[in-house]
Structure 1
Amino acid sequence: MQIIELLTPSYEAAWLPWAVQYFFLIGICATTAIMATAAALAPRGSGMNALLPALIAVLLVSALSAPVSLLADLHQPGRFWHFYAHFTPWSWMSIGAVLLPVFIILSLAFVLAWWLQRTTLLKVTGVLLAMSAASILVYTGAEIMAVRSRPLWSTPFLPVNLALTGWLASIGALLLVARWLPGGLKALPQDTVRKLSLSAVGALIISAGLWVASGLTGYDSSFGAAFELFRTYDVWRFSMFGSAAAGLIILLLLFAPAQRHTAPGYSLLIAGAMLATAWTFRWILFMAVQGVPKYGAGLYLYSMPLGSDGLLGMIGVLGLCIALIAMVSMAYQILRAPVSLR
């Protein structure tokens, strides 16, 4: 009998929890920008147009908070400058350094045009903003998909699922923020919100089904890698069952009678489920996948730091979002922002 001892070296995580926060917030921001553009172009008085004030609030909060998480993930704000001084067009991260400032500027310009009630300028800026938001969704997904050494990342379904979960989170953020705006939840057209929510969940179900089908037919190796983790490790089984359960809970909540959706507690439950689902997906995508060795067996153990690179930083981002929501709410109340385009 032989005894073989295996030693596993300790590796630093390449993606920190700051990345989870950034991809969560930028996903909300980009998908909210697309919905806000659709609302601005929608006929006046329509359900979609009535969502514009709340979408503007979510867009502003996420557009201001997302870059903070990105700069924190880079460890040193000065590193951002290197993307411009040493531009590398074959790197998605370098391309993103150009796309992101354009997107943030267009987001703020869109908010300003709405605030000043410049309808024509709002629509023109909105079209540019929607195109810029699409580029952000492409760059953030491709930045991870480009890592071919990890099958769970190297799949075309990853950018799609990032975008769709970002859309789901933006609807949750809409329901959350709207309660502090003039008119509250009753100002939201519930039928429109429900249709958007069901569309997002339905698109996620279709995407998951296509991913499974592509894996079973041998076109996508990421499904095989995920199934092996599901079969081998309890924590991955729990994560995948939890994801399916979260989707089922959201569907059940959405199919409840329409009058329930205006209840503060019920809408808060729906919003929390949507936001938690999107955030957990990104945590698994970044932190859990990094715990899977590229070569060898077992899982790397990861313990989240309690300082600024971990728990404290996440709490700080949450505090920043709460402060921004409070400021936006106060601005709506003090300046009596319009509830629809005039």
Structure 2
Amino acid sequence: MNSNLIEIISVSQASTWNSWAVQYFFFIGLSIGGVLLTIPALVLRKSHWLPIARLSLIVAVTTGLVAPVALLADLHQPARFYNFYLHFTPTSWMSWGAFLLPTYLLSLMLFGFQALYRDRDNRHSLTRLAAIATSVLGAGIALYTGSEMGILISRVLWQVGWLVPGYLISGLAGAAGLALVLNNLQSDTSQDANQRLVNWLNLFLILTGAWIVAWGGAGHLNLSNSGMELLRLMLVYQPVESLLLWIGLGLALPLLLGLINQSAMNVVTGLLAVFGAWMLRWVMFIGGQGIPKNGAGFYLFDLPLGTEGLLGILGSLGLWMVFLIVIRTLLSQYHPQARA
């Protein structure tokens, strides 16, 4: 006797985590990636990396400011966040995140002020200390964001540690791509920075591709249930979003353009890499919630046009642009001879 439930009619089910969660994981991933890209210059003291470090730190600060806004919007009842502090639970990733996130953001703001304003030439040991502290906190955020999704037993796709390296590597790729865009949009574009950013972007994209192959390969060999769910999601349920938009447009195409390495295409290459980082999170969040456990078919997601959907996505991008303009303007005002 088969005791499993088998549904023959599929019904639409609302997604618990909507587009605001995607935006939070996207912006915090770019922020962490931007911080880690400053390590060669501000920790290892490689002076030729300083222009990239400044660009990456601007990416980290601006995206880091937007991330908590998206998180609060996703909480639905934001005032309840104080419960994380009143009732700390050591076994809960969200409880740890409630302390890690504000600590990381405070460290990031102090790091940005020190490195972009007070010590642009990287001569003070305080800058190095701030870089190390923020990088360590960023690594903690990466671990928390990749692990908190695995607490849901009903989502086999999220239950193992594959998301942690995937979010980290794709965040590095997105941050490198955004830094490449900023470098090519400023008046005094650094060709040396362009070349280094393209090379590192290619590496991060290759690593992202290797991560997908390893995860999907483990599923194909029946070594990973989550890998099997990934293959189902990509090949059966969401081939357009997964294969065409994420892997094709957001991974393979920027890698191809990066390998060709035409300076005229740097902005396009960078934007596609950023899109790929966002698309990965969209597929994991929205697509992952659509995989049925016992249902007859995939649970479709209709993107709302209001603040819970398209308007929220565009609004968060607009907020990031506001932060970028304000910070670049302040840096230009106080450092008229320098363009970061």
TM-score by length of 1: 0.89
8 Å Cα contact 1:50-1:188 kept in structure 2: no
Q: Secondary structure at the match of 1:245?
A: helix
8 Å Cα contact 2:174-2:277 kept in structure 1: yes
8 Å Cα contact 2:219-2:231 kept in structure 1: no
Separation in 2 of the partners of 1:5 and 1:98? 42
Deviates more, 1:16-25 or 1:240-249: 240-249
Separation in 2 of the partners of 1:43 and 1:230? 42
Residue 251 of structure 1 aligns with an amino acid whose one-letter code is: L
8 Å Cα contact 2:332-2:339 kept in structure 1: no
1:113-152 Cα offsets, whole Å, 9 max, x none, are 1111162111011111111010010000001123232221
**Which of 138, 153, 156 lines up with 2:161 in the alignment?**
156
Q: Secondary structure at the match of 1:139?
A: helix
Aligned to 1:166: 171
Matched, 1:112 2:110: no
1:203-257 Cα offsets, whole Å, 9 max, x none, are 1122223223322333211222233344544x33662244332322112111124
Q: 1:299 to 1:94 in 2, by over 3 A?
A: same
Q: 1:231 to 1:210 in 2, by over 3 A?
A: closer
Q: Secondary structure at the match of 1:298?
A: coil
Separation in 1 of the partners of 2:255 and 2:91? 41
Aligned residue-pair number: 330
Aligned to 2:290: 291
Displacement of 1:195 in angstroms is 2.2
Residue 11 of structure 1 aligns with an amino acid whose one-letter code is: Q
8 Å Cα contact 1:99-1:132 kept in structure 2: yes
Q: Secondary structure at the match of 1:87?
A: coil
8 Å Cα contact 1:177-1:325 kept in structure 2: no
User: Where in structure 1 are there 5+ consecutive unaligned residues?
Assistant: none
Displacement of 1:10 in angstroms is 4.8
Aligned to 1:224: 228
Aligned to 1:243: 246
Aligned to 2:34: 32
Aligned to 2:196: 192
Separation in 1 of the partners of 2:75 and 2:209? 34
8 Å Cα contact 1:52-1:340 kept in structure 2: no
Residue 53 of structure 1 aligns with an amino acid whose one-letter code is: R
1:71-91 Cα offsets, whole Å, 9 max, x none, are 111123212211111211211
Q: 1:73 to 1:337 in 2, by over 3 A?
A: farther
1:54-98 Cα offsets, whole Å, 9 max, x none, are 112111101111111011111232122111112112111111001
Q: How big is the alpha-carbon RMSD for the aligned residues of Structure 1 and Structure 2?
A: 2.3
Residue 270 of structure 2 aligns with an amino acid whose one-letter code is: A
Matched, 1:317 2:316: yes
Displacement of 1:287 in angstroms is 1.0
8 Å Cα contact 1:40-1:123 kept in structure 2: yes
Aligned to 1:95: 96
Aligned to 2:3: none
Matches within 5 A, 1:249-288: 249-257=253-261, 260-261=262-263, 263=264, 266-288=265-287
- Aligned identity (percent) is 29
1:179-222 Cα offsets, whole Å, 9 max, x none, are 45562x33652231122112201211222232233223332112
Matched, 1:209 2:208: no
8 Å Cα contact 1:291-1:301 kept in structure 2: yes
Matches within 5 A, 1:44-63: 44-46=46-48, 48-63=49-64
1:269-307 Cα offsets, whole Å, 9 max, x none, are 111110111111111111122122222220223211221
Separation in 2 of the partners of 1:10 and 1:202? 36
Separation in 2 of the partners of 1:45 and 1:229? 45
Residue 143 of structure 2 aligns with an amino acid whose one-letter code is: V
Separation in 2 of the partners of 1:20 and 1:337? 37
Displacement of 1:5 in angstroms is 9.3
Deviates more, 1:15-24 or 1:154-163: 154-163
Separation in 2 of the partners of 1:340 and 1:296? 55
